[in-house]
């Protein structure tokens, strides 16, 4: 942490929020994957809402706000952006399940397409972080892309479920690695090196 001699202000330390955000992602992705893969009944979709809204969305929002405090632009942008995605998914479920409003999921599909485009941008940025985050984001790209295809072209939902399950497994690993490595002060579970180091970068 940098501190200028002019201000000499003590900035309170903020704990590493990534495990919280990744656990939220892992659990929410697992819940959605269970339905897409046929491991849970699609007739009880309403039961997914608490997991997507509170564990998925809120946990990632908290992690993102903490990352802003840590001046981590990648972590802050990634967690807060995906938290709003989870809130959008949750509200969409609420509307389609509990109201009689006539809706067209094409709007939902194009919203997801917008998130897919930005997710690809985040994936490129993640190449400067570590291999584990790259793999998680590639999985998210696959899940978003296949979900858009499912909504617009009626492709099988099992493809979406496969990507979500991959995201869940990788996110559990990432959360465990960051938590254990941070607490032990050494590498217990490797997360891999950056895959891209731009010229002139630090």
User: What CA–CA distance (Å, rounded) separates 112 from 23?
Assistant: 22
Residue 66 lies in a domain: yes
| Count: domains in the chain | 1
User: What CA–CA distance (Å, rounded) separates 86 from 96?
Assistant: 15
Stretch (H or E) spanning 47:
none
- Residue 4, pLDDT score: 42
pTM of the model: 0.90
- Residue 46, pLDDT score: 80
Residue 39 lies in a domain: yes
Residue 156 lies in a domain: yes
- Residue 100, pLDDT score: 84
For the four alpha carbons of 85, 50, 162 and 36, in that order, the dihedral sign comes to negative
Mean pLDDT of 2-19: 64
Residue 8 lies in a domain: no
Residue 3 lies in a domain: no
Stretch (H or E) spanning 114:
helix 105-126
Can you say how many angstroms the Cα of residue 32 is from the centroid of all Cα atoms in its chain?
13
pLDDT digits (tens, 9 = 90+) for 103-154: 788 989 999 999 999 999 999 999 999 999 999 999 999 999 999 999 999 9
Residue 200 lies in a domain: no
- Residue 169, pLDDT score: 98
Q: Say if residues 85 and 115 touch (Cβ distance below 8 Å).
A: yes
| Containing structural domain, residue 153 | 18-184
Residue 198 lies in a domain: no
Q: Is the pLDDT of residue 196 over 50?
A: yes
Residue 196 lies in a domain: no
Q: Which residues contact 199 (CB under 8 A, 6 or more apart)?
A: none
């Amino acid at each position: 942490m940098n501190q200028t001699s002019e201000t000499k202000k003590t900035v309170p330390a903020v704990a590493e929020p990534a495990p919280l955000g990744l656990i939220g992602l892992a659990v929410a992705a697992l819940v959605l994957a269970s339905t897409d893969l046929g491991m849970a009944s699609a007739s009880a979709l309403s039961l997914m809402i608490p997991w997507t809204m509170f564990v998925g969305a809120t946990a990632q929002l908290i992690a993102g706000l903490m990352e802003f405090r840590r001046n981590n632009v990648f972590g802050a942008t990634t967690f807060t952006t995906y938290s709003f995605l989870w809130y959008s998914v949750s509200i969409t479920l609420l509307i389609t399940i509990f109201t009689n409003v006539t809706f067209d999921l094409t709007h939902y599909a194009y919203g997801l397409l917008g998130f897919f485009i930005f997710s690809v941008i985040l994936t490129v940025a993640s190449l400067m972080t570590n291999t584990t985050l790259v793999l998680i984001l590639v999985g998210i790209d696959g899940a978003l892309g296949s979900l858009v295809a499912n909504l617009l072209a009626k492709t099988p939902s099992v493809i979406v479920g496969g990507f979500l399950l991959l995201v869940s497994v990788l996110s559990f690993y990432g959360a465990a690695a960051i938590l254990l490595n941070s607490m032990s002060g050494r590498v217990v579970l490797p997360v891999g090196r950056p895959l891209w180091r731009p010229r002139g970068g630090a």
